[in-house]
Amino acid sequence: MTASKQERMLAQYDQAMSEAVQQAYYGHSDFYNYGYWADGATCQSEASEALVEKLVSFIPQKRGKILDVACGLGASTRQLLKHFEAEDIQAINLSEVQLAKGRTNAPGVQFTYMDAAHLSFPDNSFDNVLCVEAAHHFKTRDAFFKQAYRVLKPGGRLVMSDIGGGPKWVWQANLLKDAADLKAHQEKAGFEDVLVDDVTDDCWGGFCRNLKRWPSEARSRGELDTKQFLYIWIFSRLYVPITGIGVKKYFLTSAVKPVTAAGGEAPNADGTAKSIDPAPPQTPR
């Protein structure tokens, strides 16, 4: 049977996250995001941590239950433990490999195999939902927004970083033109008080600059042998222009489910309310 586009993507991420050079670049932190460089980060692990902290800063009250969507290797989940109790955090992903590592990184947190576009949680389950640099891969982003809206409690908040990608890099339904386009998609799902900040240079730009200088710096510190240095040097020169075809914009966003929202209702296109039923539980592969 031919692997689906999503299965191939997940396999590629599993492989990339396990590579020794990738792990060295991220300082063996188990992060895997472009990071936020505007606050003075000096290495990729610091920038990746700063990105999660920036998103968490959008949450006024660090209390209640929070869902980490597409949690990767659990580095973002581990960081949430600085602000929330383990029993109040749930994390989901579609990779059993990544979930297993997440359980090591964030003990006591519930990690579950689940599709972000088909959440099986009941209505009004969470006070906050976090999603770091992943929604452009979901099938689709709009389906995820509707599900996030449904599982949030009234007054709950969705905070996320997101990528505006090129036509061959994401699902066609996930193409974003600009910050206003992303805001419109979230408002269509029912969210209000939507804030979208274009931080392309602070995130993608900072990552690109760091990636280009890192091989020589790591080599001088003795962290790379000659073969590794040549590999990552060539990779760093090719990755930016090739991936740049897809990474056109990088956004940070915060959105609130209205306090007056009833249950898991989300509006129709004409503004009237409709209910979205939760998806049935997913069976792990």
Q: Is 92 exposed, middle or buried (0-12, 13-18, 19+ CB in 10 A)?
A: buried
Using a pLDDT cut of 70, give the percent of the chain over it: 88
| Residue 133: active-site member | yes
- Model pLDDT, residue 48: 98
Confidence of residue 25 (pLDDT cuts 50, 70, 90): very high
Set 133, 187, 217, 265: catalytic member: 133
- Model pLDDT, residue 173: 83
Rg (CA), the chain: 19
250 DSSP β-pair partners? 163
- Model pLDDT, residue 168: 56
- Model pLDDT, residue 274: 45
Of 68, 158, 55, 64, nearest in space to 105 by CA: 68
- Model pLDDT, residue 188: 97
Tokens representing 175 are: 């193409």
What is the reported pTM? 0.89
Q: Is 9 exposed, middle or buried (0-12, 13-18, 19+ CB in 10 A)?
A: middle
- Model pLDDT, residue 93: 98
Tokens representing 164 are: 């505006």
- CATH code: domain 5-213+239-257 is 3.40.50.150
| Model pLDDT for residues 215-245, shown as the tens digit of each residue | 999 999 998 899 989 988 998 899 888 888 8
| Model pLDDT for residues 241-269, shown as the tens digit of each residue | 888 888 889 999 999 999 987 666 555 44
- Model pLDDT, residue 170: 60
| Model pLDDT for residues 29-51, shown as the tens digit of each residue | 999 999 999 999 999 999 999 99
DSSP string, 26-86: TTTS---S----TT---SHHHHHHHHHHHHHTT-SS--S-EEEES-TTSHHHHHHTTTS-G
